[in-house]
Amino acid sequence: MRARNDSPIPQILVAYFSLSGNTRRVAELIHSLVGGDLFEITTVVPYPQDYGEATRIAQAEKSRGFRPQLSSRAENFQASDLIFLGYPNWWGDLPMALYSFMEEYDFSQKTVAPFCAHGGSGMSQTERTVREKLVGARVLPGLAIRGSRVRQSEDNVKAWSRSSKFLD
């Protein structure tokens, strides 16, 4: 993000991947609070909605370091200064689609605010992974929201996204 005295209005992108809608709901809330562009990361081969099937596929993809091909392109990525990056916790990790996304774009000089929907594990090691993957980016402290408590977490999301947005 540019310094305040350089440009008072950072360009914001809220990019997220979501299978069952929890991360999407958090992303939409953040977007309604901070503005900018809302972008869904999607894959050419969609994941099954069936939880058991999705977990099996995700585990197999994680164990072989698979990079699914993405079917959406964030046209305004380059112009963005601050990127809210959302994903569900999958097997204590980021979904492989997030690795594809992080490798497809140049995050240097960007500020990244990661947020994660989970079923009890919080962010696991994902915040550290984002930091390690996005060399050259400034990665802000992340936000973990339990998927079943998205609605009750609005105040948390508000406080976090505001602090991320206005950090110098």
Binding test (CB under 6 A) with ligand FMN, winner from 9, 21, 69, 103: 21
Euclidean distance between CA atoms 1 and 165, whole angstroms: 9
Residue 88 interacts with ligand FMN (CB under 6 A): yes or no? yes
Residue 89 interacts with ligand FMN (CB under 6 A): yes or no? yes
Binding test (CB under 6 A) with ligand FMN, winner from 42, 43, 72, 121: 121
What x/- string results for residues 128 through 157 when contact with ligand FMN is judged by CB under 6 A? Answer: -------------------x----------
DSSP state of 151: G
The DSSP code sequence of 56-106 is HHHHHHHHTT--PPB----TTTTT-SEEEEEEE-BTTB--HHHHHHHHHS-
CB atoms closer than 10 angstroms to residue 148? 12
Binding test (CB under 6 A) with ligand FMN, winner from 118, 123, 130, 157: 118
User: Smallest distance, Å, CB 7 to ligand FMN?
Assistant: 32
- Residue ranges in 22-51 that form contacts with ligand FMN under rule CB under 6 A: 22-24, 51
Euclidean distance between CA atoms 131 and 27, whole angstroms: 20
Residue 65 interacts with ligand FMN (CB under 6 A): yes or no? no
Tokens standing for residue 17: 């991947």
